[in-house]
């Protein structure tokens, strides 16, 4: 499986009329090894019709709202896991952007990073909205922020350039990777480091590095979420899940149960505060 998985879909006109076709397409994707954002892959099972309906409804409504926004690029989030005990609402984000097809019709594609079925590695995927929301969501809800026109211009150029989009991708994965570390890289961390690459002229000079991207984020006022995770939870997570590691966190923070990592909620709070986007918008199925 290549690092950049291209899984394109046309616009979702009359999406609910094509549930049967989508069940078939999902079966084919499953046989190839569908990745999930930080969750293990169970034995492949045909998706329930209700799940497909809910995902496609959310995708259709999100598409309509994104079309109406006039944006070319948005930072798009989903609620894939229940993180309420940490005070978090969303679990995973990616970049959604408008892409014209051969006939000149524009449709939305999502570039994001996914963990390989609970293993310790990850890849970058390019998908349609339907696939983005078909990942066994905890809550069928979408949220996004519309970047400023200047940010959209820089992001769109990067997202359409596979070499730049992959420049800061780091395959070793941990769901709770340290925000300012380089040992692992979780999905939301790749997204904001890639955003830094798009917006920082200094990063385009020479070989871009994650450390330089993180320095730009710090100078731009990004603040990670601080999760309180005790030693028993940390030990259990590390022993039972390949995609969870805490050894990249500084000892003084880890042993005081302070796990600093990149979350959707922290990104959505930072972007408007930094003057890089509008306030978040929510779509329900």
pLDDT tens-digit profile of 117-131?
889 999 999 999 999
For residue 264, count other CB atoms closer than 10 A to its CB.
Answer: 26
Higher pLDDT, 36 or 46: 46
Per-residue confidence at 8, pLDDT binned at 50, 70, 90? very low
Residue among 182, 26, 191, 14 at smallest CA distance from 95: 191
Round the average pLDDT of the chain to a whole number and report it: 83
Sequence-separated (6 or more) residues with CB below 8 Å from residue 174: 120, 183, 184, 186, 243, 244, 245, 246, 248
Instruction: Report yes or no: 143 and 278 within 8 Å, Cβ to Cβ.
Output: no
Instruction: Mean pLDDT check: name the lowest of 2-6, 63-67, 257-261.
Output: 2-6
pLDDT digits (tens, 9 = 90+) for 216-261: 999 999 999 999 988 756 655 555 578 999 999 999 998 899 999 9
**d(Cα 114, Cα 187) in Å, to the nearest integer?**
6
Residue among 86, 143, 109, 133 at smallest CA distance from 269: 143
Sequence-separated (6 or more) residues with CB below 8 Å from residue 226: 258, 259, 260
pLDDT digits (tens, 9 = 90+) for 71-88: 999 999 999 999 999 999
pLDDT digits (tens, 9 = 90+) for 171-222: 999 999 999 999 999 999 999 999 999 999 888 777 899 999 999 999 999 9
Please state the pTM of the whole predicted model: 0.84
**d(Cα 180, Cα 271) in Å, to the nearest integer?**
18
């Amino acid at each position: 499986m290549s690092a950049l998985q291209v899984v394109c879909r046309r616009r979702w006109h009359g999406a609910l009329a094509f549930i049967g076709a989508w069940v078939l397409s999902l079966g084919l994707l499953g046989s190839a090894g569908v990745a999930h954002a930080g969750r293990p892959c169970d034995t492949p099972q045909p998706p329930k019709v209700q799940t497909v309906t809910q995902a496609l409804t959310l995708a259709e409504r999100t598409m309509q709202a994104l079309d109406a926004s006039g944006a070319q690029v948005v930072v798009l989030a989903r609620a894939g896991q229940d993180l309420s005990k940490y005070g978090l609402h969303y679990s995973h984000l990616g970049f959604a952007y408008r892409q014209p097809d051969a006939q000149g019709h524009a449709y939305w594609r999502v570039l994001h990073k996914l963990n390989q079925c609970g293993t310790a590695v990850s890849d970058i995927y390019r998908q349609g909205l339907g696939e983005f929301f078909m990942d066994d969501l905890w809550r069928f809800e979408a949220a996004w922020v519309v970047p400023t026109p200047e940010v959209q211009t820089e992001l769109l150029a990067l997202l359409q350039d596979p070499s730049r989009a992959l420049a800061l991708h780091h395959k070793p994965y941990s769901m709770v990777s340290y925000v300012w570390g380089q040992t692992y890289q979780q999905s939301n961390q790749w997204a904001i480091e890639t955003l830094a690459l798009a917006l920082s002229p200094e990063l385009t000079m020479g070989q871009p590095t994650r450390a330089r991207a993180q320095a730009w984020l710090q100078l731009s006022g990004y603040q990670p979420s601080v999760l309180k995770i005790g030693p028993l939870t940390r030990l259990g997570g590390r022993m039972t899940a390949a995609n969870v590691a805490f050894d990249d966190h500084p000892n003084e923070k880890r042993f005081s149960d302070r796990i600093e990592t990149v979350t959707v909620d922290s990104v959505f709070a930072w972007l408007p505060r930094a003057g890089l986007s509008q306030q978040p918008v929510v779509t329900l199925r």
